[in-house]
Amino acid sequence: MTEPTPLIATPEHTVEGFVREYLRELNFAQGTILERASVNDHYLALARTVRHYLMARWITTTTEHYRRQPKAVAYLSAEYLLGRQLDNALVAADLEDIAAEALASLGIDLADLREAEVEPGLGNGGLGRLAACFIDSLATMSVPAIGYGIRYEYGIFRQTFVDGRQVEKPDEWLVGGAPWEFAHPEHEVTVGFGGHTERYVDGEGDDAVERTRWVPGWKVLGVPYNYMVPGYRNGRVNTLRLWSSRATHAFDLKIFNHGDYAEAVRSRTFAENISKVLYPEDSTPQGKELRLQQQYFFVACSLRDFINQLLPEDFDLHDLPERICFQLNDTHPVIAVPELMRILVDEEGFDWDEAWEVTRRCFAYTCHTLLPEALEVWPVDVLGRLLPRHLEIIYRINDEFLARVREHSGDDELLVRRMSIIAEHPARSVRMAHLATVAATKVNGVAELHSQLLRDKVLADFARFWPEKFTNVTNGVTPRRFVRLANPGLSGLITEAIGEGWVTDLDRLRDLEPLADDAEFRRRFREVKDANKHRLVDLLARRDGIEIDPGTMLDVMVKRLHEYKRQTLKILHVITLYDRIVSGEVAVEDLVPRTVVFGAKAAPGYVMAKEIIALINHVGAVVGAHPEVSKVLRVAFPANYNVTVAETLVPAADLSEQISLAGKEASGTGNMKFALNGALTIGTDDGANVEIRQLVGDDHFFLFGLTEPEAAAMQEAGYRPSSYYEKNRSLRRALDLVAHGEFSGGNRSTFEPVVSNLLGEDRFMVLADFQSYLDAQERVEAAYRDPDAWSRSAVLNVARSGFFSSDRSMRDYMDRIWHAEVLPPL
């Protein structure tokens, strides 16, 4: 094949070229003129203009993938928490200055148009954001990769507060128009559900073999929507392909003609519900049938699409493992394993062993949790009703697996029961993590400690059975979005000092180390931090009507609301500070003024998490209304924390709160974003905190709390939270204030559930770590009083955190798991 000729000329990379293209978009695509265009018209025209600059790269990259047929990666993820696209595309295409100037020449402020974009929030939290960082890195590193997922019509809910309590609103991210997506209805895929299976004889005489076929009871269509995933200035643009469900028939004309409109469109509504809305549970799957429909829908579409669209027609599927690795982002896409078996055995006529050999070499599995309740399990009656053939296949995979276990273990039936893919209690169900582990070539955790605990605890039997299967890849974050784009001030400072190579080679930040001792550099670093705080002040004032003082220490805890993450520990610290001031124990002059910022969504059905949100808001209100306390302590809890807010908040932070109970947070990725932006961490020895501390050094990290073995031993011995309440005066006073109604207008019942939960069970050992946390906060205060020493530590955090680039994560996946090719530079 010859080199493809790009069909269109890329617009000229100049201000004039940009203006021309922009006006053309405004006139011909938006159908309006400069004088009359709305902000949304302008935004759409701008997005399309920027898109045009990337189009030739996209076509070239895609064509090259097809032509070369390299070993590639298909990332399967039910979530992609992308964040806004415009800025990212501008930076990737090196168009920021040109666009700003071009728009200014037309009397338009680029900043206003940025604000017009509603971010695609197609994920819950860390797991979804990780997927977005990974596809960014893969594109930037010229790895042939495709992301597959679901085009939810509604992403993660929009959070509002009513009387301090969370109220969810639908996320209508598509209503203004979706300039970044390309629908491809001509590549639609049909997906079956339900029905039954049948045996039949295929062939005649000696060649006759018994085969199985699945006869689905109903079908839906999957329509792919492509999104550009631009590499950073490397001429490459990869693809993210998200699936939207459609009915096979728009409506039933016969029923419609009989006058029952609702009934006529019923099947359509049903089909379109599959990709309607993202499930808002993070780390606690609800086991709802629609969610299994979503999972099967998107992996069935993706496998079919990969085989039909991305492989040549004559491709021999025996060679599939040479061509692709399907990376399973947690267990959500694991139903792809029996689906590939079904395709190979039932449709392609492979015998079972042959098919299994191909399948197990094609998949790798990433586990993102240690919490038992986060491990997905599907009751066999649900799975069998929806996917009868897949359940049969799962049973057979399990039978053959357990036969090997018995052979190996001398019929240790307890072991067999523990390892079985099928759980018998409380209800017969499929353990998706076991299925994934049995099928995958590699199983990885997301930080060193997490991978170790997977081997030692969660999947210990499997790790003994297949020690070489288990590996670690520590998470990372993209430096493009979370430093270059989110923190232009710091980026400028870094580039001035060490050149611009760091954006794609983050280890180079090491070269900043000597500058930590340079007083002038530290001063400029503080200047940047200060400017970032002012940006945050403006944002919170504009967006939330929240007033904060940029002169205070910014103490930030942003992440999903979950008991294991321990937002309660943070709020108990706030309450203790409040108590000490109100009771006259400390004078306000003796405290370092701080603003404590929270950002957190709770799963709508997670009652305790919602109570904790209410508690934070009520404490914030009392603290803010107190004339003395509010001089040195404020709580800000902007609603609807998302990627866009993070981009302003993270660069402004002084202190990063990473305070989960040791052994519960698989990795964390917010922790990395803060360190890279020069916040100091107060944290437990958990997840990737461990690696952050090792890299930045103990002197530049505020460690506190039990270690994982200590916490486990204490639980084993019988943890009694009330003993801490009895022994610790500060703790007692703080909890009593809550219990006595200090933050609920005297109402003692309001937060009773929170208090009694802490005193009674305290599953995540908040009370055990309380004193240690207070002590660490004292060390924070002392350190913050010395701005020079603090900013020295902050600079060292930046200089030593290059490891946490998702580019490095991708290198590790490449070396340890995927062994994919890299395209040559253009």
Catalytic residues: 368, 559-560, 565, 669, 673
Is beta strand 80-81 parallel, antiparallel or unpaired with respect to 121-122?
Answer: antiparallel
Token pair for 262 = 């609702």
Q: How is residue 8 annotated by DSSP?
A: S
Per-residue CA distances from 474 to 266, 452, 503 (Å): 46, 12, 19
Of 234, 295, 369, 677, the one binding ligand GPU by CB under 6 A: 369
374 binds ligand GPU per the rule CB under 6 A: yes
Q: Rounded to the nearest whole angstrom, what is the least distance from the CB of residue 370 to ligand GPU in the complex?
A: 9
Q: Which is nearer to ligand GPU, 220 or 458 (CB)?
A: 458
Q: Rounded to the nearest whole angstrom, what is the least distance from the CB of residue 95 to ligand GPU in the complex?
A: 31
121 binds ligand GPU per the rule CB under 6 A: no
Q: Which is nearer to ligand GPU, 282 or 305 (CB)?
A: 282
Token pair for 383 = 């799975």
Of 120, 216, 687, 721, the one binding ligand GPU by CB under 6 A: 687
216 binds ligand GPU per the rule CB under 6 A: no
Question: How far is it, in rounded angstroms, from Cα 465 to Cα 7?
Answer: 54
Residues 6+ apart with CB under 8 A from 572: 731, 734, 735, 766, 770
Stretch that binds ligand GPU, among 124-132, 417-425, 514-522, 650-658 (CB under 6 A): 124-132
Stretch that binds ligand GPU, among 125-133, 501-509, 617-625, 745-753 (CB under 6 A): 125-133
Q: Rounded to the nearest whole angstrom, what is the least distance from the CB of residue 473 to ligand GPU in the complex?
A: 10
Q: Which is nearer to ligand GPU, 344 or 377 (CB)?
A: 377
Q: Rounded to the nearest whole angstrom, what is the least distance from the CB of residue 129 to ligand GPU in the complex?
A: 8
Q: How far apart are the first and last CA of the chain?
A: 18
Output the CA torsion sign for 101, 103, 109, 114.
negative
Q: Which is nearer to ligand GPU, 368 or 634 (CB)?
A: 368
153 binds ligand GPU per the rule CB under 6 A: no
DSSP class per residue in 77-105: -S-EE---SHHHHHHHTT-HHHHHHHHHH
Please give the backbone phi and psi of residue 239, each rounded to the nearest 5 degrees, phi first. Answer: -125, 135
Q: Rounded to the nearest whole angstrom, what is the least distance from the CB of residue 284 to ligand GPU in the complex?
A: 8
Burial class (CB in 10 A: 0-12, 13-18, 19+), 789: middle
Q: Quick one: how far is CA 330 from the chain centroid?
A: 11
Residues 423-462 that bind ligand GPU (CB under 6 A): 446
Stretch that binds ligand GPU, among 8-16, 17-25, 123-131, 643-651 (CB under 6 A): 123-131
Q: Rounded to the nearest whole angstrom, what is the least distance from the CB of residue 31 to ligand GPU in the complex?
A: 41
- x/- contact string, 274-313, with ligand GPU (CB under 6 A)? --------xx------------------------------
Stretch that binds ligand GPU, among 6-14, 51-59, 122-130, 633-641 (CB under 6 A): 122-130
Residues in the chain, total: 826
Q: How many residues contact ligand GPU, by CB under 6 A? A: 19
125 binds ligand GPU per the rule CB under 6 A: yes
Q: Which is nearer to ligand GPU, 186 or 373 (CB)?
A: 373
Of 11, 120, 121, 126, the one binding ligand GPU by CB under 6 A: 126
Question: How far is it, in rounded angstroms, from Cα 563 to Cα 608?
Answer: 8
Helix axis angle for 352-362 and 388-409, nearest 10°, is 90
Q: How is residue 789 annotated by DSSP?
A: H
Q: Rounded to the nearest whole angstrom, what is the least distance from the CB of residue 187 to ligand GPU in the complex?
A: 29
- x/- contact string, 545-564, with ligand GPU (CB under 6 A)? --------------------
Q: For residue 526, how many C-alpha atoms fall within 13 Å in the half-sphere facing its CB? A: 18
Q: Rounded to the nearest whole angstrom, what is the least distance from the CB of residue 450 to ligand GPU in the complex?
A: 8
Of 127, 271, 616, 735, the one binding ligand GPU by CB under 6 A: 127
Residues 490/527, Cβ–Cβ less than 8 Å: no
Of 368, 533, 601, 673, the one binding ligand GPU by CB under 6 A: 368
85 binds ligand GPU per the rule CB under 6 A: no
Question: How far is it, in rounded angstroms, from Cα 149 to Cα 158?
Answer: 21
Residues 634/621, Cβ–Cβ less than 8 Å: no
Please give the backbone phi and psi of residue 410, each rounded to the nearest 5 degrees, phi first. Answer: 60, 50
Q: Rounded to the nearest whole angstrom, what is the least distance from the CB of residue 690 to ligand GPU in the complex?
A: 12
Of 226, 359, 475, 567, the one binding ligand GPU by CB under 6 A: 475
Residues 612-671 that bind ligand GPU (CB under 6 A): 665-669
Q: For residue 613, how many C-alpha atoms fall within 13 Å in the half-sphere facing its CB? A: 30
DSSP class per residue in 466-496: -GGGEEE----B-HIIIIIIT-HHHHHHHHH
Stretch that binds ligand GPU, among 215-223, 336-344, 367-375, 508-516 (CB under 6 A): 367-375
Q: Which is nearer to ligand GPU, 288 or 408 (CB)?
A: 288
Task: Report the residue number whose CB is nearest to ligand GPU.
Answer: 126
Q: Which is nearer to ligand GPU, 617 or 671 (CB)?
A: 671
SS (H, E, C) 710-764: HHHHHHHHCCCHHHHHHHCHHHHHHHHHHHCCCCCCCCCCCCHHHHHHHHHCCCC
Stretch that binds ligand GPU, among 120-128, 228-236, 451-459, 804-812 (CB under 6 A): 120-128
Q: Rounded to the nearest whole angstrom, what is the least distance from the CB of residue 236 to ligand GPU in the complex?
A: 25
Q: Rounded to the nearest whole angstrom, what is the least distance from the CB of residue 559 to ligand GPU in the complex?
A: 8
Question: How far is it, in rounded angstroms, from Cα 231 to Cα 80?
Answer: 17
- Single out the residue of 721, 816, 797, 723 nearest to residue 762, CA to CA: 721
- Single out the residue of 384, 381, 400 nearest to residue 392, CA to CA: 384
- Single out the residue of 592, 613, 597, 576 nearest to residue 656, CA to CA: 597
Binding site for ligand GPU (CB under 6 A): 124-127, 130, 282-283, 330, 368-369, 374, 446, 475, 665-669, 687
